[in-house]
Amino acid sequence: MALKTLSAKAAAALDRDLMSTGAFSIDQLMELAGLSVSQAVYRVHPVTQGSRVLVAVGPGNNGGDGLVAARHLRHYGFLPTVYYPKRSKNDLYQRLVKQLEDLDVPFVEDFPAALESTDHVVDAIFGFSFSGEVREPFPAVIQAMANTKVPVTSVDAPSSWNIEEGPPKSGTGSSFHPDVLVSLTAPKPLVKFFSGRHFIGGRFVTHAIAKKYDFDVPEYEGIDQVVEVGPEGHKL
């Protein structure tokens, strides 16, 4: 049985449903998404393997998930550093930044330099709503993530990938293959081009919503916010 996936259009509609009939606020969804990302990172890269985590944050919701993940990682004992070149003026993002500043989490301007002294990277630049060209300053950042030997965990989608068609055929991101992918709510069609460790996070989806959008809610264990799945969607 192939893994059921969610198109970009369906993912956007599902988010709207969660925030209308589902009664969730965007703050709640971002908090739960970032928490699940932090748990996946902890699972694949325990603090004992190196505490330095570099989080690359984009301008939208995917970046917000990264900011939340960085906060949780700090509480787990990691030493996160955040690269956030295009800061949102939205109050929600400004509060997430303030929360990190209060935990003495440093923000850096030079991504390639920061990459040289980290143990793990979280790619929270672009999510399921990404399309079109990768704009500055992100082409060099994505290329650096493609070239590094440091393990990379991508949030919902490897940045620059087409949600339906996977990595670009050429140019920025064509050689970017992260080690870990955390699919939020449900996997997107690009997972068929991904060959690393795959987690699903989204322990807030009701069975009614999953039925409406025709995907399966995995069985989360205990207090886990993520489930690792194999290529066919079976639980590992």
Binding residues for K(+): 62, 123, 159
Local structure of residue 38 (DSSP, 8 states): H
Local structure of residue 49 (DSSP, 8 states): G
CA–CA–CA angle 194, 29, 188 (5° rounding): 20
The residue with tokens 């993912």 is 11
Can you say which residues are annotated as belonging to the binding site for (6S)-NADPHX? 61-65, 127-133, 156
Residue from 139, 76, 70 nearest 108 by CA: 70
Please state, in angstroms and rounded to a whole number, the distance separating the CA atoms of residues 233 and 127. Answer: 21
Query: Cα dihedral sign for 86, 91, 93, 97?
Result: positive
Residue from 92, 88, 40, 35 nearest 66 by CA: 35
Can you say which residues are annotated as belonging to the binding site? 61-65, 123, 127-133, 156, 159
Q: Is residue 122 a contact partner of residue 56, using CB atoms and an 8 Å limit?
A: yes
Report whether the peptide linkage leading into residue 137 is cis, meaning its omega lies within 30 degrees of zero: yes
Please state, in angstroms and rounded to a whole number, the distance separating the CA atoms of residues 24 and 34. Answer: 15
Residue from 18, 21, 43, 44 nearest 31 by CA: 18
